[in-house]
């Protein structure tokens, strides 16, 4: 069964600190993995995309890693800001369908305190 598991479920950190969010998946055949940021009451917005051959991808203070052998990904946030408070969702796409089916994790709810 294709699944995406994220940890931790929630996380509270102080402004300026770093944090790392985890994602494990069983989706096969794998196409790509995205991290989305979802602000409260808004739709998800893509932060990074990684394909099978990529190990790391950065977008400003966000750095994603991918280990396709162990089917694990992480999202590292550096020097957190209050605006980073949001849900971070790991989304894996399979390449076995023309639809481009996406499998969503439940997200990690990050809260950044001043």
Binding site residues, another protein, CB under 8 A: 4, 9, 31-32, 34, 41-46, 49, 89, 93, 98-102, 104-107, 109
Cβ pair 94, 31 in contact under 8 A: yes
1 vs 14, beta carbon nearer another protein: 1
Place of tokens 């995309």: 49
14 vs 99, beta carbon nearer another protein: 99
Cβ pair 113, 99 in contact under 8 A: no
How many residues are listed for the chain in this entry? Answer: 114
9 vs 14, beta carbon nearer another protein: 9
77 vs 92, beta carbon nearer another protein: 92
The minimum distance between CB 36 and another protein, in angstroms, equals 8
The minimum distance between CB 47 and another protein, in angstroms, equals 11
What separation in angstroms does the CA of 15 have from each of 43, 46, 76, 89? 24, 23, 14, 21
Cα angle value 73/77/80 (rounded, 5°): 160
The minimum distance between CB 16 and another protein, in angstroms, equals 27
The minimum distance between CB 56 and another protein, in angstroms, equals 18
């Amino acid at each position: 069964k294709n699944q995406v598991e994220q940890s931790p479920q929630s996380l509270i950190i102080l402004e300026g600190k770093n944090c790392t969010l985890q994602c494990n998946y069983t989706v096969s055949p794998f196409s790509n993995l995205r991290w989305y940021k979802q602000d409260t009451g808004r739709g998800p917005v893509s932060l990074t995309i990684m394909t099978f051959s990529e190990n790391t991808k950065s977008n400003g203070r966000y750095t994603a890693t991918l280990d396709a052998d162990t089917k694990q990904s992480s999202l590292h946030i550096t020097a957190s800001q209050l605006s980073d408070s949001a849900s971070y969702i790991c989304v894996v796409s399979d390449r076995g369908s023309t639809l481009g089916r996406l499998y969503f994790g439940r997200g990690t709810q990050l809260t950044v305190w001043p």
